[in-house]
Amino acid sequence: MNILVLNAGSSSQKSCLYSLSAAQLPDVPPEPRWEGAIDWTDRPGKARLSVKSSAGKPLEKMLPCEDASNSATRSDITRYLLETLWQGETKTIASPTDIHAVGHRVVHGGQTYSEAVRVNRTVKATIRALIPLAPAHNPANLAGIEIAEALLGPDTPQFAVFDTAFHSHLPKAAAVYPGPYEWLDWGIRRYGFHGISHEYVAYRAAALLGRSLAELKLITCHLGNGCSLAAIRNGRSIDTTMGFTPLEGLMMGSRSGSVDPGILLYLMRDRGISPDELDMMLHQQSGLKGLSGISNDLRTIQKAISERNERAKLAFDVYIHRIRTGIGAMLASLDGLDALIFTAGVGENSAEVRANVCQAFRFLNLELDSQLNCSRPRDLDIATSESQVRILVVQTQEDWQIASTCWRKINQREKYRLGSASAVGNGDVDPLLVK
């Protein structure tokens, strides 16, 4: 079974193809047979397209893209990327009919979806209605769904896998903001994000520890350009640092994370900053980039620190402080801890961040093995054998999590195919796949 995954971000479009046995899923994520990516921001007026395929030579191309914010231009280039699956030197499958299902990462599923669903008209309308809550992502996710439908036809099943779904069982005390009660009626509550990654690394950590996920208390640290933590008990997220939007919580590459909301009122009233300017400040001019004045990339910050740049040092110190206090908050929700798990670009690669974060929790008898920490660990326990809390580095595999979720949905569906197939594809909500 060939499953195509589309993962659209605000500045990139990633995609890959997995070939899976219909009988069972492998324990360890396999390599995709084909991987494609478009970077919309590499150079002004150009889109960088790159394709890797197990079948042929890699492809690297700059395509003219006068306006990367134009959805028609984006659609054309995305379509071009997907066609390299069955055309040219990267050809991996004979024709589009060899794709049996498509899985899409959809950032915001609101309060409607607590698990992945098969896409139909209602699902598309809901994703569209949620655009105000995820303006940089949901439109790109929806565009991916439309492009796949145009290329593969309406009968190829497509699934929306939501970044919010894993957090949909947050207890009310963790989900509700202490604003006016009406906020809840307006959908203003904590949703949490990066759920696909938090869910995968929790599952993988349990497998690496040889224990059941149901018996573990875990804190997962997704530290990439965007950063968030999740407290996981019984395999469910019970607290997380991102909230109504992916702006809440930890300090990030260029996002501020949580700040005193009084600052926003002050900036608007007394400094004449408009909502759009505020948006730009909080999303693109804050975090590591804003404080250091250099870069959102931790590697650049670390190099500057080694050259005694004080703002870079301040940015790093605030970044670590926020992760430590965030973990403190997750600990309070969990009431115990079996393992602390690091993932994503920074979490997987920065031994220095892991060491600085773990240092604060030695009072829990959490002991990092400094040699293992510096050994470029991948899917490895890096705690000392005496440590009472395990510390793991797990490579996040969001695309694999999406593909395996589709596989499970299809197999679950196969069991029920008799008697209800007619509901799918006609625009009605599929009662078997939508909760």
Write each residue from 195 to 224 as x if it is in contact with ligand ADP (CB under 6 A), else as -, in one continuous string: -----------------------------x
Q: How do the residues of the chain divide into helix, strand and coil, expressed in percent and rounded to 5?
A: 40, 20, 40
Q: Is the dihedral of CA 128, 146, 197, 401 positive or negative?
A: positive
HEC letters along 255-291: CCCCCCHHHHHHHHHHCCCCHHHHHHHHHHCCHHHHH
Shortest Å distance, C-beta 418 to ligand ADP: 41
Assigned token pair, 264: 């926003």
155 flagged as catalytic = no
Taking CB under 6 A as the binding criterion, the range among 140-148, 163-171, 173-181, 292-300 that sits at the site for ligand ADP is: 292-300
Nearer Cβ to ligand ADP (141/350): 350
118 bridge partner residues: 159
Does residue 297 belong to the site contacting ligand ADP (CB under 6 A)?
A: yes
- Could you count the other beta carbons within 10 Å of the beta carbon of residue 321? 14
Does residue 249 belong to the site contacting ligand ADP (CB under 6 A)?
A: no
Shortest Å distance, C-beta 374 to ligand ADP: 12
Does residue 377 belong to the site contacting ligand ADP (CB under 6 A)?
A: no
Which one of 42, 67, 163, 335 is the catalytic residue? 163
Nearer Cβ to ligand ADP (357/434): 357
Nearer Cβ to ligand ADP (99/353): 353
CA atoms within 13 A on the CB side of 215: 5
Q: Tell me 10's DSSP state.
A: S
Binding residues for ligand ADP, rule CB under 6 A, total 13
Shortest Å distance, C-beta 207 to ligand ADP: 21
Subset of residues 326 to 355 that bind ligand ADP, contact rule: CB under 6 A: 344-346, 349-350
Shortest Å distance, C-beta 110 to ligand ADP: 22
- Asked whether 161 and 145 are in contact (CB, 8 A), the reply is no
Angle among Cα 281, 285, 286 to the nearest 5 degrees reads: 95
- Asked whether 403 and 3 are in contact (CB, 8 A), the reply is yes
Shortest Å distance, C-beta 301 to ligand ADP: 8
Select the residue interacting with ligand ADP from 226, 287, 290, 377 (CB under 6 A).
Answer: 226
> What is the H or E stretch that residue 238 is in?
strand 236-240
Shortest Å distance, C-beta 373 to ligand ADP: 13
Q: How far apart are CA 425 and CA 155, in angstroms?
A: 7
Write each residue from 168 to 187 as x if it is in contact with ligand ADP (CB under 6 A), else as -, in one continuous string: --------------------
Does residue 298 belong to the site contacting ligand ADP (CB under 6 A)?
A: yes
Write each residue from 250 to 269 as x if it is in contact with ligand ADP (CB under 6 A), else as -, in one continuous string: ---x----------------
Does residue 376 belong to the site contacting ligand ADP (CB under 6 A)?
A: no
**Helical spans, DSSP H, in 180-285:** 182-185, 195-209, 261-270, 275-284
**Helical spans, DSSP H, in 55-137:** 71-83, 121-129
Q: Which residues are catalytic?
A: 163
Residues of this chain that bind ligand ADP (CB under 6 A)? 224-226, 253, 296-299, 344-346, 349-350
